[in-house]
Structure 1
């Protein structure tokens, strides 16, 4: 193409835009020429690349926008935009494996397989906010719970945030969808705590022995199910009346194995236990002949299966107590909520619960913010600050040696 041909279609004051023609001489488009900051030529300089647009106006607009992105550091390699979603998701999983438990990774893999497999062959740059909303609608149409909806969103959002951070895409198309999800963390927690009478009724309905003790310790420590299953005798300090959380038992695709705690804040935390409960634990351990590294609730040669306990012992006990459908995790909500109601400082609740974020702990403190007993809570805190010892009344479940 001669200079006269170029000048006939592109003003002289417009630089780095060329006319592209077909064999018959008709205009195919306008090519913007630019230096790619992410690629180098054979001499080590930013490589020259081109982008063809159908009209001169579109070419000039794209040229300006591209120049601003390069200057602001927001430029994305066009080739990376063509990377398949599944490739980016697998890379994200590989990075996450270093920090997360195998069970958590397994959960992400299930979401990618069961809910996001239709994206496997999509390019990462082609995924839009509309696509994200379509996935959320699919979860709702399947009648899944709010928790599943949030889990699916958190997974796809995690991959897309990683894609932005690693230079695959410019912005996260899922960023604005979070506000459209059903429910919030606070709404999910409110109403899930039991009264102490209800919790005791369920524990009392559990079979005597290790199953009832498992429920009793869960109620009075707020430990997660996996943490209870991973509790060893050496983790219990009978002199200082505390239990230390060091490990868990996790179920990964049907196989039980020792695992790490859910968060770094969870590991090594010490939970104070009422003396009467410590006595019952000691009697149980002595009666079972356990010591040292023995798991408190397991049987010899076999780790404690919370899934089996939940189906065979927990659900029947809830039904017998007139509270069918209650989750075991509700004991944890009950422990933290009642401690918050008693006026335990938030920083202590956070430490006992092993929360990594104080906003999670604050959810429980808001549940009873309009409670008529607030004045009584204030009086107890005031008395404690004056170093007056307040001994709380303990409502205990009678546990017979079994």
Structure 2
């Protein structure tokens, strides 16, 4: 029988023989027998058109999700992709890829996130990440796999631009001193010195470090922007890394003799509390590093290269921290300075009162 239910499931599934001898087995995505039969007949007809008339083969969301995960395994955001696609599968399982519309995708975005004990409304920033995963899948299906002719346009939702959270050097020294774990303390110091993301710091290997030439590098598959990053090491960074020589054969930072795989968030929060620093995530170490660079005069184009950002807009977030290059233009809109006269201070106030 070509339509049947699997053990323990109310969903009808197909098992279709194609005209060229192939086999298609997939879910109908419905518990309604009549709807499943209609979908089965439609799919069988389309498979016939593919084999006899050269029409494009009908591809399903399930096929696309499986392929994208196989091709992008090992990428930095792979875990998030799995979470996003698992969520969308509850809506689009068994659906032909070219039948999924923009409105359906937006309607499928999660309204709440978090654990079952502590659910909270999903922010537009998080929803945009889900949209990014679907955009990546559909555009890849169009331009690389040629499975579908076009993809729906998925514009990002508007988000509120939050302030950049950074701390000064005195606060950073207090924070470092409040961390009791050796590996966490040195990872933090290296973060302030290089601006590397947490995953890159924890996964840093000796093969990525050249202490003699004071440099390190992040490979494309480890970088968020999928581009290699060259990392110059200052004296503080070199000193930190040297302390871990001989602790492990492959990885720089270890915990109890094993490479570190997870950040100790409770200990981090306790250290921040002891240092009197509130609302400070580890990722804010990177923001702090970038802020110090801008305040120290590092050009934004150089900072973009140092930080491995793919978009210039990401670096512009820090531009306001050092507006010194704009100072000469401030005098272009003075009120009282005319013809070389200076009407500032008390003289200016007196002039206003007598006007």
Q: If the TM-score is normalised by the length of the shorter chain, which range does it land in?
A: 0.5 to 0.7
Q: Is the 8 A contact 2:88 2:108 kept in 1?
A: yes
SS at match of 1:223: coil
Partner of 2:345: none
Show the counterpart of 2:265: 310
| Matching residue of 2:116 | none
In the alignment, structure 1 segments of 5+ residues that lack a partner are: 1-37, 42-46, 49-76, 249-258, 377-402
Higher relative contact order (CA 8 A, sep 6+): 1
**What CA deviation, in whole Å up to 9, does each residue of 1:238-268 have, x standing for no partner?**
554x3403569xxxxxxxxxx844455335x
Q: What SS is found at the alignment partner of 2:131?
A: helix
- Offset from partner CA, 1:348-379 (integer Å, 9 cap, x none): 32332223x1425533443436x468659xxx
Structure 2: distance between partners of 1:123 and 1:276: 55
Q: CA deviation at 1:319?
A: 2.1
CA drift of 1:303 comes to 0.9
Residue ranges of structure 2 left out of the alignment (5+ in a row): 1-48, 114-118, 329-355
What is the Cα deviation at residue 227 of structure 1?
2.0
Offset at 1:324? 3.7
Which of 92, 96, 104 is equivalent to 2:68?
92
The one of 109, 121, 124 aligned to 2:94: 121
Normalised TM-score (structure 2): 0.64
Question: Contact (CA 8 Å) 1:337, 1:367: kept in 2 or not?
Answer: no
User: Is contact 1:223-1:332 (8 Å) kept?
Assistant: yes
Q: Shift of residue 344 of structure 1?
A: 1.0
C-alpha distance in structure 1 between counterparts of 2:120 and 2:77, whole Å? 23
1:200 paired residue among 170, 173, 176: 173
| Contact persistence 1:164–1:172 (CA under 8 A) | yes
Tell me which residue corresponds to 1:332.
286
TM-score under structure 1 length normalisation: 0.58
For residues 316 and 108 of structure 1, the distance between their equivalents in structure 2, rounded to whole angstroms, comes to 31
Which residue is 1:272 aligned to?
233
Assess if the C-alpha contact under 8 Å between 1:315 and 1:325 holds in 2: no
1:385 corresponds to:
none
Shift, 1:328, TM fit = 0.5
Q: Could you tell me how far apart the structure 2 residues matched to 1:333 and 1:139 are?
A: 28
Say yes or no: does 1:224 pair with 2:197: yes
Partner of 2:149: 170
| SS of structure 1 residue aligned to 2:167 | coil
Is the contact made by 2:142 and 2:148 (CA closer than 8 Å) also made in structure 1? yes
| 2:192/2:288 contact within 8 Å kept | yes
In the alignment, the residues of structure 1 paired with residue 110 and residue 237 of structure 2 have an alpha-carbon distance, to the nearest angstrom, of 47
Shift of 1:171: 2.7
**Cα pair 1:233 1:291 within 8 Å, conserved:** no
Superposition deviation, residue 332 in structure 1: 0.8
Check the 8 A contact 1:227/1:247 in 2, yes or no.
no
Change (3 A) 1:299 1:129: closer
Structure number with greater Rg is 1
Q: Distance in 2 between matches of 1:109 and 1:321?
A: 37
Does residue 143 (structure 1) correspond to residue 96 (structure 2)? The answer is no
Distance 1:143 1:153, change over 3 A: same
Question: By how many angstroms is 1:302 displaced?
Answer: 0.9
For 1:131, the equivalent position in structure 2 comes to 104
The 8 Å contact of residues 318 and 324 in structure 1, kept in 2 or not, is answered as yes
DSSP-derived class of the 1:270 partner: strand
How big is each residue's C-alpha offset from its partner over 1:156-196, in whole Å with a ceiling of 9 and x where there is no partner? 111221233344443322x1x424x1317xx25x4233333
